[in-house]
Structure 1
Amino acid sequence: MQESSVQTFIIILYLFTLGVLAVYGVHRSALLWSYLRHRRERAEPRTRFAEADLPNVTVQLPMFNELLVAERVIDASARIDYPRDRFEIQVLDDSTDATASIARARCEALRRDGLNIRYIRRASREGYKAGALEHGSRVAQGEFVLVFDADFVPPKSSVRDLIDYFTDPAVGMVQARWGHLNREHSLLTRCQAMLLDGHFVIEHAARNRTGRFFNFNGTAGMWRTAAIEDAGGWQHDTITEDMDLSYRAQLAGWAFVYAPQVSAPAELPGDMSSFKSQQYRWAKGSVQTARKLLRRIFESPVPAKVKREAFFHLTNNVAYVFLLLLAALQLPNMLIRRRMEDPTLLLLDVPMFWATCGSVAAFYIVAHRDSYGGTWQAVKRLPVMMALGIGLAVNNGRAAIEGLFGGDVEFVRTPKSGATDERGASGPIAYRGRHPWHNALELVFGLYCTATLVVALATQSWASVPFVSLFSVGFLYVGVTSLLEAHGSRRQGDAEVDAQEPSTHSSPKPQSMLS
């Protein structure tokens, strides 16, 4: 009797977990459908500024220990085409390594050439990137600020491409699409590009074109300074200050515009540890923002469709926790199914699996086709990309749990190496993160899912084989790659690794939890 109760509990928990993931899959399909309905629509400026009426613009370049890319982003920003008497560049440098001397020297050289560029260094790093942007905004000369992270190469036309949208006084922010400097560098960067293209091509377009909230991505976007101030300014009680400010500004009534025809190329993380560091920050920060703002969003007078989309957008990374639970339950579910006399009820998992996986496949194939043309390359990369997404479940699931329940706000910058498709990492060293102890869980899950796959093959559970294979490959790919990178870093010597290590800190103002 007790054994039967345990089996029933496992089956119910398994189906519930799969059902939650299927709901997020259905939401992804709804986003895709919205995009397809509005794909030919293009946001155009209401009118255009006359040359004599162009407003003052400040380009802000926040950076911290960007030794290999600081000069590149400064020089690219200096080449931006805009009237020099209405153009300012702020290099907001919190670096603790040689980046400071490189950035300062480049700013001084450009200033001697007549460019209005300021090198700004704070007395402390309080607030990290949000604190740097807030500090720079206090002395910015521009009515509008365009932010670029250090891993971007700002296009020459970027200011002119975006500024005319602000002829509409209701517009508070305009976001450009991210391009990729090193998309073809490796299998990992190709998969990352595919993931990001789905976000920018479909998610942003679908949300913006249907009147839902979407977010400034922290870089390659231009803000009206009045909108920042009206929304309460840059705040640093989450590690995704961009998403936090975006929702507060839209709740305050400011309109956002997505301009996908404007592309700003950026460097993708070239190694697994850097990629996971970036994903961890995004996952944790989005859940922190949900904890901070969801109640306020639900209580606001915005339409129900905006509230629904905000819920799915801000809680999406919680799905990684359910993905881990699903991985753990697959083996006992499979064994219980074999012992049941009437297992037809469990056939519910097949359509729910397809609701999840099918939506992912369609989503990213369409994004790739509309970005680059053709579908075959997307189809070839899709299994690896899906496996990579599953393999991130330990990393992102942990981030979601910490974002939901933790009070600590830890910021870890994403290491950059200056890589492009034509060349690898620049310089004699490349910043790289460590291999945290919890990455061993990825290997444990990988071996466990491999054992589940063996059982599936032995018991001829053919419907489960494709899905279990993705879990096995994904966890092993992420876990083994992280292990090999950590082993390579240790061989370089602890002193060198410590010099390259991105700093981690705790915020002096921990965020309160929303019930």
Structure 2
Amino acid sequence: MLPALQLLLIGLYGLCLLLLLGFSVSQWQLTRLARRAYAAPGLPPLTPAEWPLVTVQLPLYNEVFVAERLLDACAALRYPAGRLHLQVLDDSTDETVALVAARVAHYRAQGVHIDHVRRATRTGFKAGALAYGLTRTEGELIAIFDADFVPQPDFLEQVVPHFYLDEARDTRTGVVQTRWGHLNEEYSLLTSLQAFALNAHFYVEQVGRQQGGHFLNFNGTGGVWRRACIEDAGNWHADTLTEDLDLSYRAQLRGWHFRYLPQVAAPAELPATMDALKSQQFRWTKGGAETARKHLGAVWRSKQSLVTRLQATFHLLNSTVFLAILLMAVLSVPLVFMRARVPQLEPAFQMATGFLVVLVPLVFYFRTAWQRAALDRPAPRPGFMGQLLLFLAFSMGLSLHNSRAVLLGLLGQRTAFIRTPKLGLMQQPGAWRGRRYRTSRLRSGLTLLEGLLCLYFLVGIGAGVYLREFGLLPTHMLLATGYGLVFYYSLRHAA
């Protein structure tokens, strides 16, 4: 290999490492802020003198397995009589329509104010449904639950008071977001790893952002908006795949305040199949990149502090981590051979093994989330380091799939809104077989590449052992495990 090419390879690896280090330090800072917040909890909110009108919007699209469960939970919400409106925004094209219609009729006969809202076309997908629903309700506050959520009866009683800071109404609080719970965390390895990642976001990241006065995001569901905030920020837009993140930034750039309640959980079902998880990951990562493309300039033109603008940059660009991971991973195997043949580049190779140093702040971040989650579990789960290593491996294994999504988002390529199917899978492993709502059949090209990458990193492991170059061995073991898991589940759940 020519010296110039060698230096280019190491330079690219170093740039990726610096990017990952920046994100890692950002998470470390949020963890410090979150721990400070937990050490000094705020005062409880005041009960409003007059409870506002609340509309609960339930966007649905072909949710035959969970629609009735959602309606039953929302019909059981406790709230002052005459102040609650349930709005089922049903864009379904299958028998979900009949199931919902029957359930709505059942609860309407019991005196529940509930409407079954249908549109002629599914224009704008979820964002379009939410915007359309606003034109058909007078609610001052708008609660939103996706089909896989099962809110507790006291959800509104816990959340609505947080729109009030004192005796007068706090008219600048635009959103109160709650933490997601997990109905099926123990269902499989796939669901437990998702819960591990989401807990870090909800127990640490969101808490840290609130404590530091940084930009928060509405998580698409399990939260309540002030209607005036939605309208002032320009209503729901369908030009990104993450309409929730988009509206969150537009609202906060206009001076609205967001509040986050880690003590209030909104239980939900985690995707239990690889095709469902990949569709969700694609939407989140591509949508995040689209939102960054749309709002990053406005963030840096705003009057926010430098730290807040930096945190917002890492927040909006966090999906680009997958690009760095994928590039570093591909470059890491040639580095093993270069290290054996070019001894004078030893300092550069020491830098390459520094990937493990990047993980140190992340251990602090995930460990804090693990500890906080343990307080809310009846039986805390053991094995933090094993779970962390499996999660890191699995995340690396998704880097090819997610990098494609990020690139499409950054380049402004439009793609269809593919929702995450909700299958009502709670306790029976294997029950996904034969289920409808597959988001895609086996993507043979991408899945084949994931399998080949697993073999590629096994070659890296073998080369490292043969050449007695062990610096990148832990990284290659994580990569081989991660791509192996993703390849295995992709094949298994496509059967």
TM-score (norm: length of structure 2): 0.94
SS in 2 for 1:39: helix
Counterpart of 1:199? 201
Structure 2 gap ranges (5+): 165-169
Counterpart of 1:49? 48
SS in 1 for 2:298: helix
**Per-residue displacement from partner, 1:179-213 (whole Å, max 9, x unpaired)?**
00000001111110000000000100000111001
Match runs of 1:246-265 below 5 Å: 246-265=248-267
2:64 counterpart letter in structure 1: L
1:421 shift after superposition: 4.3
Q: For the residues of structure 2 that align with 1:108 and 1:427, how far apart are their CA atoms?
A: 32
SS in 1 for 2:151: coil
1:69 to 66, 76, 82: 66
1:398 shift after superposition: 0.6
- The number of equivalent residue pairs is 484
Q: CA RMSD in A?
A: 1.8
Counterpart of 2:463? 455
Q: For the residues of structure 1 that align with 2:137 and 2:109, how far apart are their CA atoms?
A: 20
Q: For the residues of structure 2 that align with 1:113 and 1:376, how far apart are their CA atoms?
A: 46
Counterpart of 2:419? 413
Given the superposition, is the C-alpha separation of residues 427 and 11 from structure 1 closer, same or farther in structure 2, using an over 3 Å criterion?
closer
Question: Which stretch shifts more, 349-358 or 76-85?
Answer: 349-358
2:141 equivalent to 1:135: no
1:36 counterpart letter in structure 2: R
Structure 1 gap ranges (5+): 489-515
1:40 counterpart letter in structure 2: A
1:360 shift after superposition: 2.5
Q: For the residues of structure 2 that align with 1:404 and 1:199, how far apart are their CA atoms?
A: 23
1:423 shift after superposition: 7.9
1:467 counterpart letter in structure 2: T
1:23 shift after superposition: 1.9
1:483 shift after superposition: 1.8
2:277 counterpart letter in structure 1: F
2:267 counterpart letter in structure 1: P
Q: For the residues of structure 2 that align with 1:462 and 1:177, how far apart are their CA atoms?
A: 41
2:444 equivalent to 1:445: no
Q: For the residues of structure 2 that align with 1:64 and 1:43, how far apart are their CA atoms?
A: 39
The 8 Å contact of residues 216 and 243 in structure 1, kept in 2 or not, is answered as: yes
The 8 Å contact of residues 45 and 166 in structure 1, kept in 2 or not, is answered as: no
Counterpart of 1:505? none
1:12 counterpart letter in structure 2: G
2:442 equivalent to 1:435: yes
2:452 counterpart letter in structure 1: V
Counterpart of 2:394? 388
SS in 2 for 1:238: coil
Match runs of 1:260-299 below 5 Å: 260-299=262-301
SS in 1 for 2:463: helix
Q: For the residues of structure 2 that align with 1:469 and 1:322, how far apart are their CA atoms?
A: 18
2:101 equivalent to 1:104: yes
Counterpart of 1:476? 484
1:81 to 74, 78, 83: 78
The 8 Å contact of residues 70 and 150 in structure 1, kept in 2 or not, is answered as: yes
SS in 1 for 2:264: strand
SS in 1 for 2:135: helix
The 8 Å contact of residues 181 and 419 in structure 1, kept in 2 or not, is answered as: no
2:133 equivalent to 1:120: no
The 8 Å contact of residues 185 and 424 in structure 1, kept in 2 or not, is answered as: no
**Share of identical aligned residues, percent?**
39
1:222 to 206, 221, 224: 224
Q: For the residues of structure 1 that align with 2:389 and 2:260, how far apart are their CA atoms?
A: 29
SS in 1 for 2:225: strand
TM-score (norm: length of structure 1): 0.91
Given the superposition, is the C-alpha separation of residues 305 and 315 from structure 1 closer, same or farther in structure 2, using an over 3 Å criterion?
same
**Per-residue displacement from partner, 1:470-494 (whole Å, max 9, x unpaired)?**
00110111012102222x1xxxxxx
SS in 2 for 1:85: coil
SS in 1 for 2:259: strand
SS in 1 for 2:262: strand
Q: For the residues of structure 2 that align with 1:49 and 1:388, how far apart are their CA atoms?
A: 46
SS in 2 for 1:258: strand
Counterpart of 2:237? 235
The 8 Å contact of residues 177 and 262 in structure 1, kept in 2 or not, is answered as: yes
**Per-residue displacement from partner, 1:19-48 (whole Å, max 9, x unpaired)?**
222222222222222222322233445522
Question: Which stretch shifts more, 278-287 or 417-426?
Answer: 417-426
